[in-house]
Structure 1
Amino acid sequence: MKKKMKAAIFASVASVILVGAALLRKLQRRRRRLPRAPFVNHAAEREEYINSILHGSETYCVNQIRMTPIAFHRLCHILTEGEHVRPTIHMPVTEQVFIFLHIIGHNVRFRVMGSRIYRSTETVHRYFKVVLRGVLKLYRTLIRLRSEDTPQEIRNSRRFYPYFKDCVGAIDGTHVRASVPLEIQGRFRGRKDGTTQNVLAAISFDLKFTYVLAGWEGSAHDSRVLNDAFARPGGFSIPNGKYYLGDAGYGNKNGILSPYRSVRYHLKEFSDHPPENEKELFNLRHSSLRTTIERGFGVLKKRFRVLDAEPFWSFETQVKVVLACCVVHNHIMGVEPHDHIMEAAMNEVESSDPHQETQSRRESIEDSRLWNAKRDEICQAMWSDYIRSGE
């Protein structure tokens, strides 16, 4: 009896095993029929994507990385030659710079950039910081006053020469979007909507930045930022006898030539009414020449969309990014400035300046009598020639 029971148990177990084996074979056959995802060679796909931009049409390249292929490869060469950015076993310099330019050009998030080139978010972030540090090391080389000679834009114009022969550029502040902790947001709310940082910049008439100071709160007055720029060790300096054109907010002081107050100034105010006296003529030509700073800011923000978007990194990095954009801008202006971004930005910039700010009593006291006399001298000479020639 016991033997029969054992035999029956063995038979049942055997049948279960056989059924299980049959089901397993059937499942395996079914799995073999399932289509597999195609294999993707990430390295090859990445290389093809980057090469399609760098070796495609010039317009497409400028749209993607905000500069021509020649300017891109020149920038890579400068960064490599100075050992500011080095190739690694994982990523060449061209890809590192490509990532950086694409992010600041389009305000692309790290994870989005990573998905486009099959890199992790951490990798994109790490190499972005590497190139950012490398570009900032070019600041002293690229952002400086190149020559103290009279600019061609002045020398070749009867409206400006010889009256502004000692002028080397224009100076003004612009507001760039800023993301700061809630407890200090009040200090960063200025004339613009939202929180911003007030960026001071001096620019020459060939649209190259000669000085940039970023990081001030949006509520800070332009003259206060300028005073800080002068006071900083190795900060803003103006060659003896030379000056920059500034608006009324800076006051007329050593190295800064401002327009007359309570006198027509904006270009649109003269559209139907030519100047009627020497001060109006001076303000008209001062305004015409100072639009250089507006064009410079316009081109910069048109090329680097990160400057007009809500930042997604720390404030320290936000300040560095502003400086880096100015460095890259100067590099482009020195290699191949006349691309379609430049043309579009120049068409969009309005000819009139922002609303003039009034100075405080303390700031007006600081006006230099010497520079008031210099302005009057230029003004009288300009008006005398205007009356004599009729133009």
Structure 2
Amino acid sequence: MNPHIFHNLCDTLRANCGIRDSRNGMTVEEMVGMFLMVVAHNTHLAVVAEQFQHSKVTVSWVIMNCIKAIDGTHVAACVPSSVRGAYRDRNNEITQNVLATCSHDMMFTYVVTGWEGFAHDSRLLSDAATLELFPAPYGEQYYVVDAGFPNIPGYLAPYKGQRYHRSDFNDDTPPTTEKELFNQRHVSVRNVIEWYFGVLKNRFAILRSMSTYGPVRQGQITIACFVLHNFIRLNNYHDRLF
């Protein structure tokens, strides 16, 4: 590919498709270069990783069809005592359960609010998937999800009954089986949404301690926080929390 065509392609992806340099320093040019190296020359991922000095996991993320991560998070709720039982989560706190999808550029792409804290994540997903605006995966695309979700086409969950969380693996306790290795790689990809939730709640204190608004308004406030997160991300990429 002619160099000026390559750079035009990268500029177009930046301008029209929301592709951004990654937070770990990988540029769009590197991402496109790796992709082109694979599709144009059928180069093995290990060779691409060596050429670009990135891990094979990183190269796989660029090449494969993992479109987003999806998960639920609990934010503070303020409800009448008569319905607190339904809003009491597994930590015995009064919350609403929020389902969200995020892309790898730290943008939330779909949010459902208002569910009781007692509601299970899989129930939220089952309901959301029936809605017209839900960004359902198609073809070979898939979401990475945690073990609380079903492992079905379009939704890739980890192996159950195996070590999974990042804290389970360190230099002294590396993966010892193929399933554990899969889980370690899986959580390294899915953990991105946990991090984004952390940034969101760190920025918007109301999500940690909701005021006495009505149930509908609390859901609207929560969605507004997600929208503001995206707006800040688009307009101030180097914000300290990012």
Structure with the larger strand share:
2
Under a length normalisation based on structure 1, what TM-score does the superposition of the two structures give? 0.47
CA distance, structure 2, for counterparts of residue 190 and residue 302 of structure 1:
20
Shift of 1:233: 2.9
Partner of 2:233: 333
Matched, 1:314 2:214: yes
Aligned to 1:248, what secondary structure does the other structure show? coil
CA distance, structure 1, for counterparts of residue 18 and residue 241 of structure 2:
24
CA distance, structure 1, for counterparts of residue 215 and residue 135 of structure 2:
23
CA distance, structure 2, for counterparts of residue 157 and residue 242 of structure 1:
22
Aligned to 1:162, what secondary structure does the other structure show? helix
* Cα pair 1:229 1:236 within 8 Å, conserved: no
Matched, 1:231 2:130: yes
Partner of 1:158: 56
Shift of 1:158: 1.1
Structure 2 counterpart of 1:328, one-letter code:
L
Shift of 1:146: 5.5
2:183 maps to which of 278, 283, 290:
283
Partner of 1:39: none
* Cα pair 1:166 1:243 within 8 Å, conserved: yes
CA distance, structure 2, for counterparts of residue 172 and residue 210 of structure 1:
12
Partner of 1:200: 99
Shift of 1:281: 0.9
Residue pairs, 1:1-391, within 5 angstroms: 152=31, 157-162=55-60, 165-271=64-170, 272-342=172-242
Give me the CA root mean square deviation. Answer: 2.3
Greater C-alpha Rg? 1
Partner of 2:48: none
Structure 1 residues 220 and 239: alpha-carbon distance in aligned structure 2, compared to 1, 3 A threshold: same
Structure 1 residues 339 and 160: alpha-carbon distance in aligned structure 2, compared to 1, 3 A threshold: closer
* Cα pair 2:66 2:143 within 8 Å, conserved: yes
Under a length normalisation based on structure 2, what TM-score does the superposition of the two structures give? 0.74
The percentage of aligned residue pairs carrying the same residue is 44
Shift of 1:191: 1.2
CA distance, structure 2, for counterparts of residue 189 and residue 146 of structure 1:
38
* Cα pair 2:122 2:148 within 8 Å, conserved: yes
Over residues 177-216 of structure 1, what are the superposed CA-to-partner deviations in whole Å (9 max), with x where a residue is unaligned?
A: 1111222111111113331100001111111101111111
CA distance, structure 2, for counterparts of residue 278 and residue 159 of structure 1:
15
Structure with the larger helix share:
1
Over residues 245-298 of structure 1, what are the superposed CA-to-partner deviations in whole Å (9 max), with x where a residue is unaligned?
A: 100110211211010111111112111211122111111011111110111101
Partner of 2:39: none
Shift of 1:338: 1.9
CA distance, structure 2, for counterparts of residue 173 and residue 324 of structure 1:
17
Structure 1 residues 229 and 173: alpha-carbon distance in aligned structure 2, compared to 1, 3 A threshold: same
The number of residue pairs the alignment matches comes to 195
Over residues 333-359 of structure 1, what are the superposed CA-to-partner deviations in whole Å (9 max), with x where a residue is unaligned?
A: 1111322233xxxxxxxxxxxxxxxxx
- In structure 2, stretches of 5+ residues that fail to align are 1-16, 20-27, 36-53
